[in-house]
Amino acid sequence: MRIDVFTIFPDLVEGFASQALLGKAQDKGLLDVRAHDLRAETTDPHRTVDDAPFGGGAGMVLMAEPVFRAVEAVDPPRPLFLLGPGGRTLDQPFARELADGDGFSLLCGRYEGVDARVVDHLVDGEISIGDYVLAGGEVAALVVIEAVGRLVPGVMGNHASGDDESFSHGLLEYPHYTRPAELRGWEVPEVLRSGDHGRIARWRAAQALARTIRDRPDLIEARGGVTSADEKLLREFDLA
């Protein structure tokens, strides 16, 4: 999987992608993240990439020509996505769709926005990571790269896959515990130390369900509500 990123902060993107899980995936040849400096193809002494908006107003606009030139110098994997709040919101199914391809590219906007001709004639789509405003697209690009990268076959190593975790089954995770068995008077639930693996699996499923009902009822609605089997499971552990 190749992911090319166009940004005025290529070191930030490369630094992040070279660490931990993504760094190991790159070492293993499973993932290839390439950051490209939007200033690379500028020709003026100040390597300018921003200019004032036509029509006036506050702030600056990321210029079209440096972006076209940087992208055309590389011929990166398509689709090329702009990061911004107007796009399709990243969720687990979208991350899975991106991970099923061979690669894609990301354009990080900055300033007040990007010249509209980039949007109209260069990029293929837009990705949002949520309804809030960032100072630039870099952090959003890192979120996309991490969410997608961990789904690439082989990247998760020890963990069989990313798919047994939150959201892939549409529920929040059950609570996790490690040693010590008692911490400041708070004990690990007895069931987890019982050795009864069937009961442990049912307790975890019941906990995941109860927490999702409590904290994310929208996820319960999305999977079609609470079934009678769900209610039986909750009752087994006095959760309903």
Tell me which residues touch ligand JCQ (CB under 6 A): 82-85, 109-110, 113-114, 128-130, 132-134, 136-137, 140
Minimum distance from residue 88 beta carbon to ligand JCQ (Å): 10
- At 186, is the secondary structure helix, strand, or coil? strand
| Shortest Å, Cβ 112 to ligand JCQ | 7
With respect to ligand JCQ, which residue has the nearer C-beta, 145 or 234?
145
CB 82 within 8 A of CB 122: no
Q: Pick the closer one to ligand JCQ by CB: 134 or 200.
A: 134
Q: For ligand JCQ, give the closer residue by CB, 23 or 113.
A: 113
Find the shortest distance in angstroms from Cβ 185 to ligand JCQ: 42
Q: How far is CA 171 from CA 50, 174, 216, 218, 236, in A?
A: 44, 9, 8, 10, 19
Beta strand residue intervals within the chain, DSSP E:
2-7, 32-37, 50-51, 61-62, 80-89, 103-108, 113-114, 125-128, 182-183, 186-187
**Between residues 49 and 206, which has the closer beta carbon with respect to ligand JCQ?**
49
Contact 67, 109 (CB under 8 A): no
3-class secondary structure, 117: helix
Residue nearest to ligand JCQ (CB): 109
Q: Least CB distance from residue 104 to ligand JCQ, whole Å?
A: 16
